[in-house]
Every structure is written in C-alpha cells, then in structure tokens.
Amino acid sequence: MQFNDIFDATLLGLIEGLTEFIPVSSTAHLLLVGRAIGWSSTGHSFEVLIQLGAVLAVLSVYFGKLWHLAVTLPSDPRSRRFVASILLAFLPAAIIGAMAHGFIKGVLFETPALVCTALIVGGFILLAIDRMPRRVRYTDAMDFPPLVCLIIGFFQCLAMIPGTSRSGATIVGALLMGTDKRSAAEFSFFLAMPTMAGAFAYDLIKNRDILSTNDLALIVIGFVAAFISALFVVKFLLDFVSRHGFAPFAWWRIIVGTIGLVALYAFA
C-alpha cells in the first residue's frame, strides 16, 4: 500500500462524509473525483463500504434519541410507529437494490455522463421544490404517517441512479408529502441507517471473495475519514437547512455536473 493510495482513500473518505447527508450525491462526487485522480476499487466496493463510517456518525450524534427509542419501544406506541415507518420506508430500496445490484454497479456506476446529467437535473428539481409554495402538514419526523414514509422510501430508490442523491431524493419526496425542511432532513438521517447498513452488508457479502487485504486496509482508512467528516455535517446540517433551505446545494449540483460534462467531452 503506497502513500498515494492512503492519500486518495483519505480524500475520498472525507468527501463521502461531507456529501452523504446533503442532497448533492456522495456517490457522484466519489465517482467523479475518483475518475479525476485515477482511483479504482475492486467492484466499486470502496465507494459503498465506506458509507458505514457516515452511518456511525449519525448513530453517535443521535445516540440519545436512538437509546430513547430502544428503551420505550415496548411501551410507547409512538416509538413503535416511528421504527415501523423507518423499516417500511427502507423496504423498497432493499428489494429493488438487491434485484438491480449488478446493473447498478456494472452499468450505472460506469457511465460518468449519466452521473453528471443526474446532478444537473436533480439540482434544478431541488431548486423548484425549494421555491415551491407548499402547505406544511408535518414538522416532526416521528409523526410522519406510514403511507408518507413508504412514498419517501420509493423516492429513495431513485438514488440508485448515481448522481441523484439518496438524501436529495428522500428530502424531495418528504417535502412533496407536506413536511417542513428540517423534519425532511432528519427523517433522511434516520432512513440512512438501515439503508446504508444494508448496502454495506450486501456489497460485502457479494464481493467478499474478490477483496484483497490491500482493499480492506484502504476501506478502513476511507471509513474513518468518512466518519470524521460526516460527524461535522450531521451536527450542523439541520440548522443550516432551517436557515438557508436547499438552494445552495442545488446550485452546487448544477455547477459540479456542468463542469463534469465539460471535462468529459473536452478530454474524451
């Protein structure tokens, strides 16, 4: 394992943590930056497996709330309903992701023009949603009805197209269902836990025979870097969104996607 590999893994891990929970698509940033620096990983497993570091950042920040849910689960109907709603929202991605795993990793991950286009299109959609007049019906992620959660879960499936953004898709789905911006982002945090943990476990099982010791060492480095940077984002994102909305992220998507497309065709 060379210094360049360690530096690249650290850089990509930091990018993963910084972008996982904001609606800009961490996968798109990893794929585009990885392509720019000449990074390649076995079966694109690095990009998937380091996401667990970001999940642990959410777990650490929300440990108190998660502990409260665990303790009150047997006795509190509200806690049971919330946990059931998260699992319900996770279900579409679990089924469709398992069925389309080979196509996603083998085709979609290998199409950078698609990634850039998804960034741009998603940016304009996020701008439109952010400015759309809406009637807010839900301000607490704990109180989203099960049907709303299921619909958000189907929106999450759009993120299987790299560049769409898992958090972006779930936030847009939540806003269209009548949530406010803060609760939409918070629900996206909670939904990330089973979704990304499931993706980690499934990808590790699928690729366990082809991953080398060097691959695993670099994954650990990226994992730690993702945890550290995601910790910062999770602590401050909700307040930022409450004050500024999602427009800054939308414009970032459009700029990055446009630069990516120009670079792809300029150096093709």
pLDDT for res 109 = 82
The pairs formed by 33-38 with CB atoms below 8 angstroms and a separation of 24 or more are 34/8, 35/112, 36/263, 37/8, 37/11
- What is the identity of the amino acid at 108? L
User: Does residue 40 have a pLDDT over 70?
Assistant: yes
Q: Is the dihedral of CA 28, 100, 94, 85 positive or negative?
A: positive
Q: What is the pLDDT of residue 1?
A: 56
Tally Cβ neighbours within 10 Å of residue 195: 24
Residue type, 262: V
The answer on pLDDT for 259 being more than 60 is yes
Structure confidence by residue, pLDDT tens digits, 142-195: 999 999 999 999 999 999 998 999 999 999 999 999 999 889 989 998 999 999
Q: Point out which residues pair with 138 in neighbouring strands.
A: 179
Whether the pLDDT of residue 226 is over 70: the answer is yes
Q: Name the average pLDDT for the chain.
A: 89
Q: Are 156 and 150 in contact (CB under 8 A)?
A: no
Distance between CA atoms of residues 233 and 71, nearest Å? 27
Is the whole model's pTM more than 0.75, yes or no? yes
| 167/26 Cα distance (integer angstroms) | 9
Give dist(CA 32, CA 26) in Å, integer.
Answer: 10
Domain extent for 59: 3-266
> Domain total for the chain?
1
Q: Which pLDDT score is estimated for 243?
A: 82
